[in-house]
A and B are shown apart, each in its own frame.
Chain A
Amino acid sequence: MTAEVTHPQPELLAAFALDALVSAEQRHVGAHVEGCAECRTEIDRFRGVVALISADDAPPPPGLWSRIQAAINA
């Protein structure tokens, strides 16, 4: 017999996708989704649409790539 899984409230999954939970809730939901493909898919799909609406491109500062190169070659 399989134990009944208690999923987080659907509202918490949406808020999790926006990083809008307090840290204890964020940890709780985060730990649950590690082992729950169903909730993980729900969150991933919310994040997919959030990425689409947050189109706000701005050129990074000119020296940033050199700093990144220096950091990865350090």
Chain B
Amino acid sequence: MSAWHEVSDEDLVVEVGRRVEPALAEIYRRHGPALFGLARRVLGSGEGAAEIVQDLMVRLWSSPERFEAARGTLRTYLQTQTHGLAVDVLRSENSRAERQARWTNGFAEQPEFVEELVFQRAVEDRVRAAVTTLTDDERAAVTVAYYGGFTYAEAAVILGQPEGTTKSRIRAGLKKLRAALAEPGQDA
């Protein structure tokens, strides 16, 4: 196969299963920047982020069957893995107090912290529009948990609210995003 850029993600994974290295190279070319960007944002460091992307590509090479196309896109699968690995690294570094302080100060000094941090970066109009359906509190809860790599209980401390409130806001926020981003005819 010569025109790798025309091959679907699903078919590239099939080729990876056949030990076809250019297929993995194409997956890396297509998704590497998003995965590296996400890992770097969560970790706050490029070096750790590069290691995570390397790990992930090696895992995909050795166990491509772990990707189940019926459960979502390859991008979602890889981003989920990237986030999980980045959070593991963060939590094992034992610097929770310092991270928590940094985020708490971020909110105290700059209320628009969340907006600038994440949601302005959404490239697609429909994604930006979806984000505007969330309240500020819901956006903050989702952002602190996801990009800060915090548990909902830690996020609650940063946001100065009860754990149950943070948990509910995370769910409410994700449900709104899902409703706003649902394809026509698809259930939210």
Contacts and interface: CB of A to CB of B under 8 A. Distances in A.
Contacts of A21: 151-152
Contacts of B34: 54-57
Interface in A7-54: 10-15, 17-22, 40, 44-54
Interface size bracket, A side: 35 or more
Contact of B145 (A13, A18, A52, A61): A18
Contacts of B110: none
Interface string B111-150: 0000000110111100100110000000000100111011
Contact of A68 (B54, B87, B153): B54
A14 B175 CA distance: 9
A68 B37 contact: no
Contact of A60 (B36, B72, B119, B151): B36
Contacts of B151: 15, 20-22
Contacts, number: 147
B127 A55 contact: yes
Given A21-B151, A49-B181, A61-B46, A54 B57 contact: no
Given A19-B87, A50-B79, A52-B127, A61 B50 contact: yes
B157 interface: no
Given A20-B170, A44-B76, 8 more contacts: A18-B170, A49-B174, A52-B177, A60-B53, A68-B53, A72-B24, A72-B58, A72-B62
Interface of A: 10-15, 17-22, 40, 44-61, 64-65, 67-69, 71-72
